[in-house]
Amino acid sequence: MTRLIDREFLDLCLHDWLGTGDIAARDTVDAVLDLSETLARERFLTHFKAGDAQEPRIGAQGVTVHPEVRAAIAEYAELGLFGAGFAEDLGGHGLPFVVSCASFAWFAAANIATSSYAMLTVANARLIAQFGSPAQVDAFARPQIAGEWLGTMCLSEPQAGSDLGVVRTRAAFDGQDDLGRRYRLVGSKMWISGGEHDVGGNIVHLVLAKVAGADGSLPEGTAGLSLFIVPRVLPDGKRNDVAVAGLNHKMGYRAIPNCLLAFGENAGAVGWLVGEEGQGLRQMFMMMNEARISVGLGAAALACRGYGHALAYAQERLQGRGSDGAPVPIIEHAAVRRMLLAQKALGEGALALCLYAARLVDAHADDAESAALLALLTPVVKTFSSETGLEANAMAIQVHGGYGYTRDFDVEQVWRDNRLNPIHEGTTDIQAIDLLARKLLKDGKGLAVLKARIAATCAAADGFADEVAALQAAWSDVDAALEMLRLRDAALDVATPFLFAFGHAVVGWIWLDLAIVARGKGKRIEAGTAAALRYFIACELPRVRAWLACCTAGGAVLEADAGWM
Amino acid sequence: MTRLIDREFLDLCLHDWLGTGDIAARDTVDAVLDLSETLARERFLTHFKAGDAQEPRIGAQGVTVHPEVRAAIAEYAELGLFGAGFAEDLGGHGLPFVVSCASFAWFAAANIATSSYAMLTVANARLIAQFGSPAQVDAFARPQIAGEWLGTMCLSEPQAGSDLGVVRTRAAFDGQDDLGRRYRLVGSKMWISGGEHDVGGNIVHLVLAKVAGADGSLPEGTAGLSLFIVPRVLPDGKRNDVAVAGLNHKMGYRAIPNCLLAFGENAGAVGWLVGEEGQGLRQMFMMMNEARISVGLGAAALACRGYGHALAYAQERLQGRGSDGAPVPIIEHAAVRRMLLAQKALGEGALALCLYAARLVDAHADDAESAALLALLTPVVKTFSSETGLEANAMAIQVHGGYGYTRDFDVEQVWRDNRLNPIHEGTTDIQAIDLLARKLLKDGKGLAVLKARIAATCAAADGFADEVAALQAAWSDVDAALEMLRLRDAALDVATPFLFAFGHAVVGWIWLDLAIVARGKGKRIEAGTAAALRYFIACELPRVRAWLACCTAGGAVLEADAGWM
């Protein structure tokens, strides 16, 4: 049986490391994880390949997706998983965010494309629950929390990707009703996952648009963005003026359609304003921050799944001979073990990092320290997981040799699916600017919290003196580079290698912290955690210095005219 | 128009750097490159996507491939390109290997899958030309040199991949005829590219098999391997006993079928022994060494192509704003320039390395130094190009953002195609053992030649003092690690990170050498080469120390029981 995620490791993270017991009953958590794994296997994993081979199509009936998606999402709803993390008075189950993330990881590992219907819907409903009026919550959030309707986030346009300031979708005021200030929207939205499909129920689009001034002109920049709820079907049962203008044909992530949506080709799409005008980006960012954690989590889950496949293959496949001349499973070869350890250290390290951040979401409402640390770690969660998750998946293929390159095995698709994760919800370069400019150079609070926690870990790390020394040296290099960048005008030039370095230094700490906690928790988990720590310190942490060297020397290099023309 | 390879850079490499003028007339070389680019564009690039979408099928008529493959290969033959590198008395054109490689790079860049019919056929014919009897050369090499027939190499079996010692295909002596010692072969061969198809002409299989002893047992290990010529159609026009038992469905490289072949399901497949029994692996290695250069070259060509796409997109796509608030092409953003410079430094660096090795093939017949250096560099050529070519292609996708993840653009397929290259013709880990065990620890001749050439470059590098110092420091780290590994029992444990470090140190030297040569050769090429050198030194060379740290500390780590079970 394919191992999706190492349950013992997940339990270590939740119960022993993150103290989930303080915010949820252990048996509840266990039951949710059991149920999640079972459903992920029985309804999501089952069409992992079929959903890739038979991608969404557009026809006279609209967009049709693989039929098993519908059954999977229906059962996900029936078991109450859409509502897992919502308060009970919203129809949810009141589970902590970290537990709903741990649940979600199983579905992402099994079938990241199908799981993303749920991810987007939950993020959408959380935003409406946070910023919408009570009537909006009732009308649009509750049906999503119940899993009866699904949701999207409509930010990008063909000409507006990383730069949302140039969004051109326009909204014109159209009156007031029970659901709030009503507008008519006209414009195109690109890269809309789940933008149209036959999975069932209504689709709630959350759309960023600009309200035109009296002279018809749109406000400049992101400050002019407002957020609108634009349902596919209006409360009166009529179809809203939203049409799918085309599907993007992706390399992976195929069980969910990715659409170009045309709003308002006729009378204008009806949408209700969320909160006030001009608050759209701020509101969307709350959703986006959680979506970034979810993307990181999905990437980490895929890294763990690839590792599971590679490990199983390495234990079975005979090739080469041992010292006695007899055939051996390839896990006996150091080169293969290196790739397995790397996948474990990167994939499970990323998973732990994501769960750590999710635990901060639960804590941050009443804890400024947690909030600052969460803000700092969000771009790291997104980027470390997606970039190194992809490296881990490439190694999963390599362990399989030629077999890994064929569609008879799963690892090639896992790698293709995971390639989206460094792109969507803010590319790696966007995350890097967020980390360096907003989270470090502008405000040092998050870093101070992080450094204090690292110091506490190092102080408790009896028996890991070498690892502590290496970690402290890496952080002292990071500090020195940051001080250098603080003095440089064009520090953002090298924000990306800085983010890579920072992320590895963070995950070095995560592994040290995990290894301390794993002591005495059973031979297998203790040995595995210590081995991953040692591998990370020996073979991953040295990359920190290489990336920082690029930060130090690279700025001037990037200015050069390289004879592009 | 898609830029496949920067012709000015290719010219610099061939004419100014490698002195191809000493072995071929400049106007001949120019004409071959012009013709190659044109044909690559007009017959290979044209079905790049179609050959991926419509992969080979197996049916009652055998294996059918995309119909445009046939036309492409026919024109490749008609223009004499199969024979480019063969002596005139064999029906070839007597071009140096380096020129035939430069020609081939265009086809690999345009359509690596279709180009590999040619690559395999040429390698097959070269082997027969080298080791076959005159009758075998006439019967089997000449039709391939003319491009009338195509060839394969049949090494692997389902249970025998990296370890060819466990090959089970057996050959039984069946008599002597004009073509030599004739055998009957029985067995299965896996991963056979071009093993069966409707591209036209006969197919010449070169098959590794073992001759059973008097008691029916097969000799142990690789010493018992012999090489046989097994044509699909026998000289008397009858079909040989070779059948396709199945196709492998690959993630990329799809225009060429990859087959499981069944030899001898009936009376036994007829094959003629090449040379003597027991010489199979030695003979195959001659072919494999050139095939490894070709694989590296293909990977480098794909890296260059991805770079061309990314550069064109970055110059066109507007996103974000400049200091005056106006929209700018994304090449104005340092983060994008970093990814472009990286692709140039890795992709063109790999291309230069491959051509350097090809030039050594031309030189090595009468030059022991070149032969030793070629032996040393072959695993580096294969691995640096394929591993970093893939990194470069991932960046080409990233530059395109979401568009890069769609099949409307070419970079996703380039990335998928290139993923095969670290696997076939000996995986990265196999190359690493070859480098460390055979080419470095057993015999230091190649390294001595390399170090002398690096020293000569450094001595001539006026104006690049910082780059020279960084390069010398990297090589002193490589030397120290090598000495440490020499003393360690289990040095091969960390052969792979050592190969990565070694490869980067080699390509650092290549860029320095190129930058010296490029001076005064025109503003664009001089600036581009210097920028790539500076980027490589600032951002790539620091990785050497990170990999070496893993070599130093990693061995013990890899021994650990990581709680696999």
Measure Cα distances from A154 to A82, A194, A431, B428 in Å: 20, 10, 19, 43
Is the same domain home to B162 and B120?
no
A445-459 helix and A465-487 helix, angle to the nearest 10 degrees? 160
The chain A residue lying nearest B222, using CA atoms, is A320
Q: Which of residues 496-525 of B touch A (CB under 8 A)?
A: 496-497, 523-525
ipTM of the shown complex: 0.97
Asked if residue A135 and residue A12 are part of one domain, the reply reads: yes
pLDDT band with cut points at 50, 70 and 90 for residue B558: confident
Are the beta carbons of A270 and A215 closer than 8 angstroms?
A: no
DSSP 8-state code for residue A389: H
On whether any CB of chain B is under 8 Å from the CB of A134, the answer is no
Smallest Cβ–Cβ distance between A550 and the set B420, B490, B542 belongs to B542
Q: Give me the pLDDT at residue B334, please.
A: 93
Residue B172, burial from CB neighbour count under 10 angstroms (0-12, 13-18, 19+): middle
State both tokens at A100.
């709903």
**pLDDT on residue B565:** 59
The three-state secondary structure class of B184 is strand
Residues of A in contact with B162 (CB under 8 A): 319-320, 401
- The pLDDT, as a whole number, for residue A234 is 98
Q: CA A263, CA A114: separation in Å to the nearest integer? A: 25
Shortest distance, CA A319 to any CA of chain B (angstroms): 6
Contact B535 A527 (CB under 8 A): no
Q: Which of A331, A394, A495 sits opposite B335 (nearest CB)?
A: A495
Instruction: Tell me whether residues B161 and A319 touch, CB distance under 8 A.
Output: yes
Q: What is the CATH number of the domain that holds B68?
A: 1.10.540.10
Residue-wise pLDDT for B520-529, tens only, equals: 999 999 999 9
Q: What is the pLDDT of residue B288?
A: 87
Is the Cβ–Cβ distance between B369 and B452 less than 8 Å?
Answer: no
| Among candidate residues A262, A277, A292, the one where a domain is terminated | A277
Query: From CA A468, how far away is CA B495, in angstroms rounded?
Result: 27
Residue A111 near residue A52 (C-beta atoms within 8 A): no
Does residue B550 lie within any of the structural domains? Answer: yes
CB contact under 8 A, A401 and B427: yes
| Domain end point (choices A90, A124, A150) | A150
Identify the domain boundary among B134, B150, B166.
B150
B133 and B265 housed in the same domain: no
Instruction: Give the pLDDT of residue B305.
Output: 98
Question: What is the DSSP code (8-state) at residue B425?
Answer: S
- C-alpha to C-alpha distance for B448 and B454, rounded to whole angstroms: 10
Interface test with B, best of A539, A543, A547, A552 (most B CBs within 10 A): A539
Query: DSSP string covering A478-520, please?
Result: HHHHHHHHHH-TTGGGGHHHHHHHHHHHHHHHHHHHHHHHHTT
Contact A549, B527 (CB under 8 A): no
Tell me, yes or no, whether A387 lies in a domain. no
What would the pLDDT profile of B312-358 be if each residue is shown by its tens digit? 999 999 999 888 889 999 999 999 999 999 999 999 999 999 999 99
Name which of A344, A398, A428 is nearest B422 (Cβ-Cβ): A398
Task: Please check whether residues B135 and B104 belong to one and the same domain.
Answer: yes
Whether residue B20 is found in the same domain as residue B142: yes
According to the model, what pLDDT value does residue A565 have? 59
Which domain, by its residues, includes A441?
427-558
Cβ pairs bridging A and B (under 8 Å): 264
Query: CA of A295, closest CA in chain B: separation in Å?
Result: 15
Q: Is B347 contained in some domain?
A: no
Of B191, B495, B532, the CB nearest to A402: B191
Q: Is B434 inside any structural domain?
A: yes
- Decide: residue A290, CB within 10 A, 0-12 exposed, 13-18 middle, 19+ buried: buried
Which positions 138-157 of B are in contact with A (Cβ < 8 Å)? Answer: 156
What is the tally of structural domains in chain B? 3
Residue A311 lies in a domain: no
Tokens read off for B547: 């990999």
- Listing DSSP states for A133-202 in one string gives -HHHIIIIIHHHHTTSSEEEEE--BTTBSS-GGG---EEEEEEEETTEEEEEEEEEEEEEETSS-SSSS-
Strands A318-321 and B203-211: unpaired
pLDDT tens string for chain A (565 positions)? 889 999 999 999 999 999 999 999 999 999 999 999 999 999 999 999 999 999 999 998 899 999 999 999 999 999 999 999 999 999 999 999 999 999 999 999 999 999 999 999 999 999 999 999 999 999 999 999 999 999 999 999 999 988 999 999 999 999 999 999 999 999 999 999 999 999 989 999 999 999 999 898 999 899 999 999 999 999 999 999 999 999 999 999 999 999 999 999 999 999 999 999 999 999 998 888 899 999 999 999 999 999 999 999 999 999 998 888 899 999 999 999 999 999 999 999 999 999 999 999 998 777 999 999 999 999 999 999 999 999 999 999 999 999 999 999 999 999 999 999 999 999 999 999 999 999 999 989 999 999 999 999 999 999 999 999 999 999 999 999 999 999 987 788 999 999 999 999 999 999 999 999 999 999 999 999 999 999 999 999 999 999 999 999 877 888 877 777 5
Q: Which residue has the tokens 């003629």?
A: B272
Pairing outcome for strands A269-273 and A170-177: unpaired
* For chain B, counts of helices (H) and of strands (E): 19, 12
Residues 6+ apart with CB under 8 A from A391: A342, A346
Residue A284 belongs to some domain of the structure: no
Q: Tokens for A331, please give them.
A: 């896990």
Neighbours of A206 (CB within 10 A): 27
Mean pLDDT of chain B: 96
Beta-carbon contacts of residue B28 (< 8 Å; ≥ 6 apart): B95, B99
Q: Are A116 and A18 members of one domain?
A: yes
Rounded to 5 degrees, φ, ψ at A278 are: 80, 0
Residue indicated by tokens 């055939």: A327
Cβ neighbours around A527 below 10 Å, total? 16
How far, in Å, are B71, B184, B230 from residue B179 at the CA level?
Answer: 32, 14, 12
Token pair belonging to B375: 């032996």
What CATH number is given to the structural domain containing A255?
2.40.110.20
In the numeric block, which tokens belong to residue B52? 């991926």
Q: Are B67 and B184 in the same domain?
A: no
Are A561 and B321 an interchain contact pair (Cβ–Cβ within 8 Å)? no
Is residue B243 domain-shared with residue B146, that is, in the same domain? no
CA distance A348 to A350: 5
Sign of torsion, CA A411 B423 B150 B73?
A: positive
Report the distance separating Cα B197 and Cα B479, nearest Å.
49
Does A425 qualify as catalytic in the annotation? yes
DSSP A126: H
State whether B494 and A407 contact (CB < 8 Å).
no
Residues A159 and A122 in one domain: no
Q: Are the beta carbons of A431 and A382 closer than 8 angstroms?
A: yes
Which bin fits A273, alpha (ψ -120 to 50), beta or left (φ > 0)? beta
Assess contact for B185 and B271: CB atoms under 8 A.
Answer: yes
pLDDT (0 to 100) of residue A303: 98
A176 shares a domain with A246:
yes
What pLDDT shows up at residue B81? Answer: 98
Rounded to 5°, the CA angle B42-B47-B48 comes to 105
A542 with B523: Cβ contact below 8 A: no
Touching B: A residues 266-325, CB under 8 Å: 311, 315, 318-321
Inter-chain touch A341–B558, beta carbons under 8 Å: yes
Q: What is the CA radius of gyration of chain A?
A: 24
Q: Does residue B204 sit within a domain?
A: yes
CB contact under 8 A, B390 and A394: yes
Look at residue B83 in the predicted model and tell me its pLDDT. Answer: 97
Name B211's bridge partners: B171
Distance of alpha carbon B345 from alpha carbon B259, whole angstroms: 36
Bridge partners, residue A180, by sequence:
A177
Q: Are B41 and B48 in contact (CB under 8 A)?
A: no
- Whether B56 and chain A come into contact, CB under 8 Å, resolves to no
In a domain, A32, yes or no: yes
Residue the block writes with tokens 């190129």: B514
The DSSP line for A273-287 is: E-SSTT-HHHHHHHH
- Which residue of chain B has the CA closest to A533? B557
Q: Catalytic one among A425, A467, A540, A559? A: A425
What does the CA dihedral A461, A467, A468, A471 come to, rounded to 10 degrees? -140
pLDDT band at B440 (very low <50, low <70, confident <90, very high): very high
B66 with B41, same domain?
A: yes
> Pick the catalytic residue: B55, B290, B425, B467?
B425
Residue of B nearest to A344 (CA): B562
Is B494 in the A-facing interface, judged by CB distances under 8 Å?
yes
Indicate if the pLDDT at residue B554 is higher than 90.
Answer: no
Q: Do B155 and B87 belong together in one domain?
A: no
Question: Helix (H, G, I), strand (E, B), or coil: what is residue A373?
Answer: helix
